[in-house]
Structure 1
């Protein structure tokens, strides 16, 4: 049996702090005391089993029951790897986002932008044996969020990456290149290191573009190590 790979602890500058003054809502939910480490049992480490038979994939967010959603169609694809570049196969990834007008299909979103009856804004996919994934959607719009005067969130898509058990879930956001709101966004800028922030920005890729149909963006996710993706719920 090969020796286990060394544990690579993330650089704190690569991950957002739990309490970021500019991101106002963190002040109300960040813990005031040091966390207590709870033991991980077999249930948290190995259940439930996430597989397509029980969690049906939804790879095309741009259509609902055959009806086309409003907005710019895009393709998003990428690869999920560990800190040594090895593919993470058969991992379930959930995505959710606002519609093209910048509104979520959720009762809590009271932004007066229009809802799209043909867009739910949520999907589910699984990586293949190479750790690769792909889905189609509508490019999300920016929206106001009340963090400060005239605050707007950049265009973004949320990603939830699930491991082998219920305690193994990592959440991050994918942004778009050239968005002028990135420089003004407290969520994006909670990450101290500029290079780590850039790992949250997808890149346009012509090979992913479908001629006369949709532009393509690549967003790779690295779980740990020097090039790890910043995540919203602590270190992986």
Structure 2
């Protein structure tokens, strides 16, 4: 890590890019990246005190039921109820407390509640597919949701995306936002998914896959998956370009 001093004298951390783990901005097999990635050299955007410190992203951003995607409507959603939990950790393995974590996902039939999603699968009136929570003092987060379904996406012949949940993490400001995807173990669609495979480091890809955890399941109610999010260092989770479309 190095530091950068702004014109106002504010000292900001600057990290080297991990090109071995993070996908290139233009991934040939992920066809729509050709239209999305920058065509000109990136320009440094100075961050002043306002961008670094505000707005505040604390507990007041979360409603009482935001972490439980199965109780946000009048009825229960269709599909397999699951628990997804884990820790948010820094590069030295220390927990990151009181940070905002958001998720969004397709329903059990593989369809997003989004006007751009035209997949001919049913919408679920009792499932919106979005949630948020704050990590506790030990960096723990926990969501109750429905296991998402796979869906077709026309990237290549007979293309289907593996089941996944999008995660968004905020530090102290919007400029610190990080986005990634969590996958489920043993998915047969991994081998042909160019988004998953755009991460060239095999060990880094494995860190995007959750693990089934019988100990944290709730008997006769919900299975459980564990997934830790590591922000920096050799065990870091792979994060993606914030400009990617949400229904990928």
Quickly name the TM-score band, shorter chain normalised.
over 0.9
1:11 and 2:15 are equivalent in the alignment: no
SS at match of 1:136: strand
**2:211 maps to which residue?**
203
**1:170 maps to which residue?**
178
**1:215 maps to which residue?**
223
**2:49 maps to which residue?**
42
Distance 1:99 1:187 in 2: 20
Counting only pairs closer than 5 Å after superposition, residues 26-65 of structure 1 correspond to structure 2 as 26-56=33-63, 58-65=66-73
**1:153 maps to which residue?**
161
**2:5 maps to which residue?**
none
1:10–1:228 contact (8 Å) kept in structure 2: no
Gapped runs of 5+ residues in structure 1? 1-5
Q: Aligned Cα RMSD in Å?
A: 1.5
1:200–1:230 contact (8 Å) kept in structure 2: yes
2:62–2:134 contact (8 Å) kept in structure 1: no
1:10–1:224 contact (8 Å) kept in structure 2: no
SS at match of 1:45: helix
How far the C-alpha of 1:207 sits from its partner, in A, is 1.4
How far the C-alpha of 1:222 sits from its partner, in A, is 0.4
Gapped runs of 5+ residues in structure 2? 1-12, 243-248
How far the C-alpha of 1:53 sits from its partner, in A, is 1.7
SS at match of 2:197: helix
Q: Matched residue pairs, number?
A: 229
**1:3 maps to which residue?**
none
How far the C-alpha of 1:66 sits from its partner, in A, is 4.5
**2:28 maps to which residue?**
21
Moved more, 146-155 or 49-58: 49-58
